Structure 1
Amino acid sequence: MRKKLRVAAYALCVRDGQVLLARWLNDGLPEWTLPGGGMEHGEDPHDTVLREVEEETGYRVEVTGMLGVRSVRFPLRRRFGRTVDQHYVGLMYEVRVTGGELRHEVGGSTDMAAWHDLDAVPALKRVPMVDFGLRLWRERPVSGRPAD
């Protein structure tokens, strides 16, 4: 079975009881996610999160802390019935807005960015990474992984 590794960096930005999310178009089905995305070859993950947040939300941010890492492995069906052993590693950073204006991404993997009340997040159609990031933010585990 073919193996594929994807490393990405994501931002958890909370202010005034709201979290900044981007709406990801997953095969045309929108789901809310944390702003961020895949590292380019040779790119530092710190720079990745700054670039991705600006691309997806219009905001310039600064990293205020490293929250943790999400590592997930799953089989992914590809064309012609082939299956890939997909390993996804997401680095979760806490950030704060330093400039820019909220806007939507054009021509990317997201189509909208918005602030959401923290207590409204459970009702949103969202990817599991949102809950994982918020859990890291609330619990602040030293290991960078929530307790099971």
Structure 2
Amino acid sequence: MRKKLRVAAYAICVRDGRLLLARGSARDGTPEWTLPGGGMEHGEDPYDTAVREVEEETGYRVELTGLLGVDSIRRSFRRSFGRTVDHHGVRLLYEGRVVGGELRNEVGGSTDLAAWQDLTDVPGLRRVGLVDTGLTLWRQRPGAGRTALPGA
């Protein structure tokens, strides 16, 4: 089984009761909302990754005002020719504040739409689990920088 580690950084940008989200596609092609952000490039600082990714996916320049926490996931995926990949994702979540730019959609990237969504509407959106993790970190601001583990 192939092992893959992916480190990524994301921004939680909340303004006037709305959350900035980007829309990508699930493995089956179904559109789903996610936090703006993405994978680190080799040698890149996670802070710079989040700033770069937010601008690429939304058109906004952001200032990251704090590290909310770190989330880790591990899943197995079937790939082509029946190969299985043991995927371990480490995700750094920052709080961000828009300081410039204009909202626009990404062209030729992993997302196709950027939008502000009312916080009260987020539970009804088709979204990745990272959105809920990010909002939990943003609301609770746990000292250890992680959400409560199931069964804890």
**TM-score range relative to shorter protein:** over 0.9
Give me the whole-angstrom Cα distance separating, in 1, the residues matched to 2:123 and 2:83. Answer: 35
Report the identity percentage: 72
Give me the whole-angstrom Cα distance separating, in 2, the residues matched to 1:85 and 1:26. Answer: 18
After superposition, give the CA deviation of every residue in 1:89-140 in whole Å (9 maximum; x if it has no partner): 1100000000000000000000000001101000000000000000000000
After TM superposition, which residue ranges in structure 1, 4 or more long, deviate above 3 angstroms? none
Which aligned pairs between 1:1-148 and structure 2 lie closer than 5 A?
1-27=1-27, 28-148=29-149
Cα-Cα RMSD: 0.8
Between the two proteins, the alignment pairs up a number of residues equal to 148
Give me the whole-angstrom Cα distance separating, in 1, the residues matched to 2:88 and 2:10. Answer: 16
After superposition, give the CA deviation of every residue in 1:3-56 in whole Å (9 maximum; x if it has no partner): 100000000000110000000122422100000000011111100000000000
1:15 aligned partner, one-letter code: R
Give me the whole-angstrom Cα distance separating, in 2, the residues matched to 1:120 and 1:26. Answer: 20
Unmatched tracts of structure 1, length 5 or more: none
TM-score, normalised to structure 1, is: 0.98
Unmatched tracts of structure 2, length 5 or more: none
After superposition, give the CA deviation of every residue in 1:44-85 in whole Å (9 maximum; x if it has no partner): 110000000000000000000000011001111111111111
TM-score, normalised to structure 2, is: 0.95
1:144 is displaced (CA, Å) by 0.7
1:2 aligned partner, one-letter code: R
